[in-house]
Structure 1
Amino acid sequence: MLPSVHRLRDHRDFAAASRGRRAGSPLLVVHAHPCAAGTVARVGFVVSRKVGNSVVRNRVKRRLRALMAAHLEELPAGYDIVVRANPAAAQADYLTLGSSLAKLLPRVLQRPQHFEVGP
């Protein structure tokens, strides 16, 4: 279960996170956007009706929540992350979703390189 403090709830936060870095696969699209410094990482999920009926959507959300709960210690503080499920996620098993998520998270959480310009 994803702890309450790590849940993204407000639609404005979802919109802001969706404007951040993005990485995708046929199963998932992961968005990450830095928010207030010092806050814990928050995660939200978007699973539309295109994925399937309510039973299928809820199963995909439960799997994604469990997978993200396992990655909480790896997430840097101060990031809002949105995981969007594509329709192919409905047929994917737990391990396939997990490997897709594990590949996408590092790609969106890479901090840009800052180069110092000397005199």
Structure 2
Amino acid sequence: MLPARHRLRTGAEFTAVTRRPGGARAGSRLLVVHANLTDSRAARPPRVGFVVSKNVGGAVMRNRVKRRLRAQTARLLSTLPPGVDVVVRAQPSAADATSTQLGAELERLLASVVARVGTDAVGVTAP
């Protein structure tokens, strides 16, 4: 589980990340990652939220995918710059992916969106 200070909680926070101008989005067959950086959060820790719809599968499968994504994100959290908010949306094919595949794809997509929101994160390089 991610610490509370690193979690997006409300629908408004998710909407702000996915729809606010100046953000970035990168996608693949497994995941879509949105990122946004605001000046008001520049000194705060990065926050992450997950969206796993019913298209991914039943409740057991959705929770499994969320757990895998949380574990992979926790591993990468220290590489995200302060103030960045990230939303990770699972595609239906994520249900068939292994944790290693999800982790590799998440790392690649995070590097891409972080580079495009105009930040220079330590440990995350754009492909």
- Gapped regions of structure 1 (runs ≥ 5): 114-119
Shift of 1:112: 3.6
* Partner deviation per Cα, 1:25-63 (whole Å, 9 max, x = no partner): 100000000132111100000000000000000000000
Instruction: Give the distance between the partners of 1:102 and 1:72, measured in 2 at CA.
Output: 10
Show the counterpart of 1:42.
47
Alignment of 1:76 with 2:81, yes or no, is yes
* Structure 2 residue identity aligned to 1:89: A
Instruction: Give the distance between the partners of 1:112 and 1:93, measured in 2 at CA.
Output: 31
Show the counterpart of 1:31.
34
Instruction: Give the distance between the partners of 2:102 and 2:109, measured in 1 at CA.
Output: 11
* Structure 1 residue identity aligned to 2:72: L
Alignment of 1:102 with 2:107, yes or no, is yes
Question: What's the TM-score once normalised by structure 1's chain length?
Answer: 0.91
Instruction: Give the distance between the partners of 1:10 and 1:37, measured in 2 at CA.
Output: 19
* Partner deviation per Cα, 1:49-97 (whole Å, 9 max, x = no partner): 0000000000000000000000111000001100000000000010010
- For the aligned residue pairs, the C-alpha RMSD in angstroms reads 1.2
Shift of 1:10: 1.1
Instruction: Give the distance between the partners of 2:43 and 2:56, measured in 1 at CA.
Output: 35
Instruction: Give the distance between the partners of 1:107 and 1:53, measured in 2 at CA.
Output: 30
- Gapped regions of structure 2 (runs ≥ 5): 120-127
Show the counterpart of 1:117.
none
Q: Which runs of 4+ in 1 moved over 3 A?
A: none
Alignment of 1:15 with 2:15, yes or no, is yes
Show the counterpart of 1:87.
92
Identity %: 55
